[in-house]
A and B are shown apart, each in its own frame.
Chain A
Amino acid sequence: QSALTQPASVSGSPGQSITISCTGTSSDVGSYNLVSWYQQHPGKAPKLMIYEVSKRPSGVSNRFSGSKSGNTASLTISGLQAEDEADYYCCSYAGSSTFWVFGGGTKLTVL
């Protein structure tokens, strides 16, 4: 069982927007603005898409955005494209004894 809870799957049509939630606790997501999101295509390594809740690394499309409220973080992808179909994982810092916890992952299907 993963420390952070994500929906197993979400779907959307091209051009639409979707949001993936990531629910933790007051010991991780709720305590630190250190939530990151990763995109993983089948057989590939994860790719950093969002860090520190809402910051985008250089080269990541501005269609990807992040936010946080309380113990829940969210990743929103607008203007869905076929290439966005992948697994998405959230991650949060959880303090100096647990360090980093991941969500179980969400499979995004572009219909």
Chain B
Amino acid sequence: EVQLVESGGGLVQPGGSLRLSCAASGFTVSSNYMSWVRQAPGKGLEWVSVIYSGGSTYYADSVKGRFTISRDNSKNTLYLQMNSLRAEDTAVYYCAGADYFDYWGQGTLVTVSS
């Protein structure tokens, strides 16, 4: 059974940083597309970033230059380093695995507020 478990969310001040983690089991992070998708409170889904099996990374314009996606193959874990956070980054962040976001974690809430 595939399980994706996010962690690392919390309250952070504008301009601050946070690193999210997504630990996978029953699923190999390095062999699959892995994405981060976020959902602002009461709003829809927004794709944030993807890392391909070959290591290429891509970002939504809204986070480009501020967020970095990476993975640790030995830990089978996906990361999202978020810098220069803004109020509009407040959302539940989901990691999603495979080509069509086949598998999702339970999400971790990031709140950017002073």
A positions within 8 Å CB-CB of B? 2, 34, 36, 38, 45-48, 51-52, 57, 89, 91, 96, 99-105
Known contacts: A45-B107, A46-B45, A89-B44. The answer to whether A99 contacts B100 by CB under 8 A is no
Cβ 8 A contact of B44, one of A45, A99, A104: A104
Cβ 8 A contact of A45, one of B50, B58, B60, B104: B104
Cβ contact within 8 Å between B44 and A100: no
Tell me the minimal C-beta distance from A49 to chain B in angstroms.
10
Report B-chain residues with C-beta under 8 Å of the C-beta of A57.
102
Known contacts: A46-B94, A99-B60. The answer to whether A36 contacts B47 by CB under 8 A is no
Interface residue range, chain B? 10 to 19
Report B-chain residues with C-beta under 8 Å of the C-beta of A99.
47, 50, 58, 60
In the complex, which residue of chain A has the Cβ closest to the Cβ of B61? A98
Q: Which 5 residue pairs of A and B lie closest in terms of their CB atoms, listed nearest first?
A: A100-B47, A45-B104, A51-B100, A102-B45, A105-B44
Tell me the minimal C-beta distance from A16 to chain B in angstroms.
25
Cβ contact within 8 Å between A48 and B100: yes
In the complex, which residue of chain A has the Cβ closest to the Cβ of B100? A51
Cβ contact within 8 Å between A48 and B101: yes
Cβ contact within 8 Å between A48 and B102: yes
Bound-complex Cα distance A80 to B58 (A): 38
Cβ contact within 8 Å between A91 and B58: no
Cβ 8 A contact of B104, one of A34, A47, A51, A105: A47
Cβ 8 A contact of B100, one of A2, A36, A89: A36
Report B-chain residues with C-beta under 8 Å of the C-beta of A51.
99-100, 102
Contact with A along B57-75 (1 / 0, CB 8 A): 0101000000000000000
Near A by CB (< 8 A), chain B positions 19-39 give 35, 37
Report A-chain residues with C-beta under 8 Å of the C-beta of B94.
45-46
Most buried by A among B37, B58, B101, B104: B101
